[in-house]
Structure formats: structure tokens, C-alpha cells
Amino acid sequence: MHTPVEIEAFLERTLLKVQKPARYTGGEINQVVKDWNHIPTKIALVFPDLYDLGMSNLGLAILYELLNQRPDVLAERAYAPWSDMEAELRAASIPLYSLETKHPLAAFDIIGFTLPYETLYTNALNILDLAVIPLFSAQRNEGHPLVIAGGHAAYNPEPMYPFIDAFVIGEGEEVIEEIVDIQQAWKRCGASRQDLLLSLAQIWGVYVPSLYEAHYHPDGVLSHLEARFPEAQLPVLKRIVGKLPPAPTHFIVPYIDTVHNRAPVEITRGCTRGCRFCHAGIVSRPVRERSVTEIVETIEQALGNTGYEEVGLLSLSSSDYTDIVKLVEAVSQRFVGRHLSISLPSLRIESFSVDLMDALKDSRRSGFTLAPEAATERMRDIINKPVSTRQLLDTARAIYSRGWHNLKLYFMIGHPSETIEDVQAISDLCKAVLAEGRKLIGRRAQVTAGVSTFIPKPHTPFQWVPCDTLEQITIKLELLKRSLRGPGLKLNWNSPEDTMLEAWLSRGDRRMAEVVYHAWLGGAKFDAWKDRFRFDIWQQAFATVGLDPAFYTHRLRPLEELLPWDHISTGVRKKYLADDYLRSQQGVTRDDCRERCYACGILPSFAGLRRLNTGDVWQCPEVKSPQGMAERLHPLAINK
């Protein structure tokens, strides 16, 4: 295996030949370097895309800080090299290495991928290949690292099942520690790799795909997933933390500019709104909040540790944070005059949001963003994002009259039951908004419409519906491109092919893994990059494997069909999702569940945790009934 000295020597000769060499050097402030020879467990945390993107991933930042607090663990980072660097690595037969100590990834005990979105899959394979680690779990032996993966895409792990030894379903903060403990015990006793996998399978929130076998009906629909070992849980319930742990504050500050080059502070996790298209809104339930005091202290510490000039207050819906007014007051008082920009994304469409942004004196160059998601009230009721057009126009007026010139509006096309009139309405609404802006600030007013295409994501009330076809998407986009033009109007859209790939990968079953593998063999990587994505490679991969992509994306699935991700439980019942889906077909909305509990299933799934974390820490109702026989703190106990 290559030594860090050899890798350093390679870098010395290579870095000036590649773009942005600082992607590959490490050595930034707040990176943690421990004594390799005296730490028993070494973990490489990998974001399978460029450093420039991966550095802003909060999930890995949390795990990096948490793991490095353990004296018996070191955690280092690795990212996907850009093609110029990949060519240099391959030409010199140098394996992919960690940024901190320049050890080859194969020298680590655990490789932990984050998979926040599906278009990273081929990059993950490419990284294993660059690291000279066998791609398939079945080909790895006791001498290879344990390869684990988590992140939002892991809620449907099946398209990656043969490549990953164990998936973490849900929140990683606690479960990663348990994985480390098990791995250490296994290493000490020198048992087989299979023994390690069987032990891991018993951790709450860990899914070991090799312990299961999928069976299909002749028509290709999943018949059942068989647990081949008693240790294999069925279903696998996601892991959550009862209370958000202290937020990370020792962010590594990159030397080069990166996406979201700022200190992120998660103010809440989860969302009570129940937008029917929203994957994050379901999988990250229940809502747990940090207190105003904790958030302000976290910002203070993060600024002291990093020197960042920008803070991002992160949540799925900032307006819904219980003490949002107090938070904004506290933040603006404490940090005024420090030349700091504070962003508060995901605000509701109401003029109060403008007050909030005004109080934060957020930099106005970037514009104000609202996400109506659909342009007609009918359609917004169907997707359960009920906002009246009048309210939207009122908000737009408030935005323009308070000093913002550019209003960014996010929409989706392809919602269930969408007609061409609903698409035309996007253009009409943007023009109506612009007209309001013109009245207030004249020609300076701008509207930027961002249009993406709806993908029926697993675990959402829309998981049964088909996607628009390429042709449908193209027709709708053409309409928008024709009508949404003129001074003050700008349209951004996702290519239909990008949408298709994301849809296939997010809705795939185990057979999709072969497509992913063949696409990678065919040269697919950086699929999330417009200029790198090759649709033809994926079409060819489907042909090679003999699968029909339409089976995954253009088929209305019956409610009783077993879905490839049904063995993964988010805690929300399938029955609840189905009810909500039927309501959508009648245009019936569901209120914010803070107002009233709709029994989605989260509380019975995690009653023990709720009982331990009383009060407003959770936004679900308190569990008042006495503890029943079936209820345990550890949900797995139910199975035993």
C-alpha cells in the first residue's frame, strides 16, 4: 500500500498541473490531525463529489466533529477528484487518499459515504475504484475497510445495495458511535466479515442489504424481501436523536471559495407542513428545535472558530420555528455591526417573512426567494402547499417595497393531475408579480423563475404516481421558455434528462444496481454536473441490463403494490401516506400538524424517545398514556 510520503511526493509533482489544487491538499484551519499510529479506529468521511461542494455538507461536518472528539477514533476527509486530477492519480497508480494525513482510503477501518442525493451514485463507485477497494460488498474481505453510507438518498438504499456493506437509515449522530463500538469489538476478536455484518444489522437504524434477498413477480413487481438471517430486521426503522445534540462549531474553513462558504447552524430538524411532494418533510420527522439561546451561542462560537462573515440558519421551514421572532431579534441585536451576513432560507409566503429578513439586514444583492411550487390555487391544494395567489402578490409587494429588486420564485412542473393551463399559470403568475414590482420600483423590478420537475419520491404521499415523460416535460418547458421572456423576467430550468435520471435512481429496486454499475463502467460520473452528465450512457446501461426505465417512472403503482423501499420505515405509516394521497386527489388539504396531530405514525414509532424528551423540544404532542408493554426506548425490542 502507498505511504503518505509517496502520496505527498506525487502531490508535489502534480498539483500545479490541475485546476484548483487546494481541493486536494487539506491543511485548512480546524482540520483535525491525530497520530495515525496510536488511534485504533480510522474513519474516512467521503462526500462523493468535488471538495467545492462537499465542504458545505453539514451532515459530514457533524460527524467529523463528533467522531474526532473520541480519543479512540480519527476521522479524515476525502472527496471526488475532478477529471484532471483523476487522470493524474490513475496515470501514476496513486490511490485516492485522505486530505488530513494522505493515507490511502484502503488503509482506513471504515469508509463512510454521505449520499444526500442520487446523482452521486456513480461517483461513489468511482471513488471505491480509485481507492482500490472492491466495488462489490461480496468481494471485500477482512482486510478491506467497512463501507457504510447514509444521507437522505439512503431512505431507498436498494439501487446501491451490492456496493455498500451497511446503510445508516436516519440520523447519524448516535448510530455512528455504535457502529464504531461494534467494529472495534469485532477487530479485537478477529471474527469474520460476515460476523461484523450480522452484529451491525442488530443496531437500530442499520440496514445490511446482503442479509436479504428480493423476490419478484413475473411482471417485474417486487413480491417480497426475504430476511435470510434472524439478525436481519424487517422493517428497518430509521434512527433519530431524541434531542438535537450540541451543534458543530469547529467548521473547517476552506482556503478556496466553495458553495455555501459560511457557518451553517441547524435551528430545527423536521417539518410539520406536510407538502405532499417533499421527501425531506416526511423522512426528517418529528420536528425538534434548538433554543434561541443555544442558537445564538452556537453562532458566536462558530464565528470565533472560523472567522466566517456569513451564517446560514438552516431548517426546512424557518417561519415555523416556534420562537422565530425572538431568534431574529436576538441574532440581530447580538451581531449587529459585525459586517456579518445572515441568511434565513425557506420562509413562508407571507409579508411577515419580509419583516424577518428586514430585521436580519440580510444582504439584498442576492434577492428574495419564495417557493410557491405551483402557480394555481387548485394545484397548491393538491400538493398541500395552500397559499392564496392574493397572499403571494401581497408578499411580493412587501418584498419590492422594502428594497429587494429581484424576487426568485421556485416552481415545479409535472405535479399529479397537472394540465397545460397549470403550466401556463406559472408564466402568468410571474408576470403578475413583475407587474406589482414595476408599480412599486419601476424597471428595476425583476422576477427569476426557477422551474424543476416533480419526481414522486419514496416515502411521500405521491410515491405511487408516475412522473411526466420526457416528451411531456419538454412540451411544458417549451411553453415556459416561449412565454416567460421579456425585460425583467428570467427563467432557469432543469433539463428533462437530469430529472429522469434522478427519478430512476430514487425509485429503483435492487435490479437498478446493475444499471448503476454498467453506467459507471460506461463512463458515467459527475452525473449531477450539467456538462458531465451523459444521458446516452444511462440509456445504454438500461439496455445492457435489460430493464425498462419506464417501469420505474411512468407507471401508476397500485396502492397495494409492495414498493422497493417498503422495508425501510421512516416511522410514518404507509396507510397515512395513502390516505393523504387520496385526499390530494380530492383537493383536500391538511393543516400544519403543529395545530393538530394527524397520527402519521411518528409518535407510536418513537414514543419512548418522546417520553424522555418532554415539552417543546418536539413539536409532536406529548405521550401521556402510561408506558405500555409494547413500547420500548429501543424500537427493536418490539421484534424480540
Partner 1 sequence: MIRIRITFAKTSAMRYTGHLDLHRAWERTFRRAGLPLAYSEGFNPHPRLNLASALPLGFTGAGEVIDAWLEQDLPLSEIQAALQRALPPGLQVTQIETVDLRLPALQTELEASEYNLTFLEPFPELADRVQALLSALSLPRQRRERDYDLRPLILDIQILPPDGLDRPQLNVRLVAREGATGRPEEVIAALGYDPQLVRVHRNRLLFRVG
Burial of 69 per CB tally in 10 Å (0-12, 13-18, 19+): exposed
User: Among residues 300, 309, 478, 622, which is the contact residue for partner 1, using CB under 8 A?
Assistant: 309
Q: Is 132 in the site for partner 1 (CB under 8 A)?
A: no
CA dist 283 and 461 (Å) reads 12
Q: Is 59 in the site for partner 1 (CB under 8 A)?
A: no
Give 410-462 as a 3 state SS string: EEEECCCCCCHHHHHHHHHHHHHHHHHHHHHHHHHCEEEEEEEECCCCCCCCC
Stretch that binds partner 1, among 22-30, 80-88, 198-206, 464-472 (CB under 8 A): 22-30
Q: Is 308 in the site for partner 1 (CB under 8 A)?
A: yes
Q: Is 228 in the site for partner 1 (CB under 8 A)?
A: no
Q: Which three cell numbers stand for residue 598?
A: 394527524
With contacts defined by CB under 8 A, how many residues of the chain interact with partner 1? Answer: 25
Q: Is 15 in the site for partner 1 (CB under 8 A)?
A: yes
Contact (Cβ atoms closer than 8 angstroms) between residue 491 and residue 485: yes
Q: Is 27 in the site for partner 1 (CB under 8 A)?
A: yes
User: Among residues 143, 218, 304, 558, which is the contact residue for partner 1, using CB under 8 A?
Assistant: 304
Stretch that binds partner 1, among 27-35, 57-65, 185-193, 235-243 (CB under 8 A): 27-35
User: Among residues 39, 227, 253, 330, which is the contact residue for partner 1, using CB under 8 A?
Assistant: 253
User: Among residues 71, 245, 246, 307, which is the contact residue for partner 1, using CB under 8 A?
Assistant: 307
Element (DSSP H or E) covering residue 106: none
Query: Which 3 state secondary structure label does DSSP give 408?
Result: strand
Q: Of the two residues 27 and 230, which places its CB atom closer to partner 1 in the complex?
A: 27
Burial of 531 per CB tally in 10 Å (0-12, 13-18, 19+): exposed
Q: Is 68 in the site for partner 1 (CB under 8 A)?
A: no
Which of 355, 353, 447 has its CA nearest to residue 407? 447
**Which alpha helices (H) appear in 70-163, and where do they start and end?**
83-91, 121-130
Q: Is 28 in the site for partner 1 (CB under 8 A)?
A: yes
Q: Smallest distance, Å, CB 339 to partner 1? A: 5
Query: Which 3 state secondary structure label does DSSP give 519?
Result: helix
Q: Is 26 in the site for partner 1 (CB under 8 A)?
A: yes
Please, what is the end-to-end C-alpha distance for the chain in angstroms?
A: 44
Q: Smallest distance, Å, CB 308 to partner 1? A: 7
Q: Smallest distance, Å, CB 491 to partner 1? A: 27
CA dist 297 and 295 (Å) reads 5
Q: Is 630 in the site for partner 1 (CB under 8 A)?
A: no
Q: Is 367 in the site for partner 1 (CB under 8 A)?
A: no
Q: How far is CA 586 from the centre of its chain?
A: 30
Q: Smallest distance, Å, CB 249 to partner 1? A: 12
Q: Smallest distance, Å, CB 208 to partner 1? A: 38
Q: Is 257 in the site for partner 1 (CB under 8 A)?
A: yes
Stretch that binds partner 1, among 278-286, 303-311, 461-469, 549-557 (CB under 8 A): 303-311
Give 244-312 as a 3 state SS string: CCCCCCCCCECCCCCCCCCEEEECEECCCCCCCCCHHHHHCCCCEECCHHHHHHHHHHHHHHHCCCEEE
Q: What pairs with residue 212 in β-bridges?
A: 227
Q: Is 22 in the site for partner 1 (CB under 8 A)?
A: yes
User: Among residues 4, 6, 21, 534, which is the contact residue for partner 1, using CB under 8 A?
Assistant: 21
Binding site for partner 1 (CB under 8 A): 12-13, 15-17, 21-22, 25-29, 253, 255-257, 303-309, 339, 365
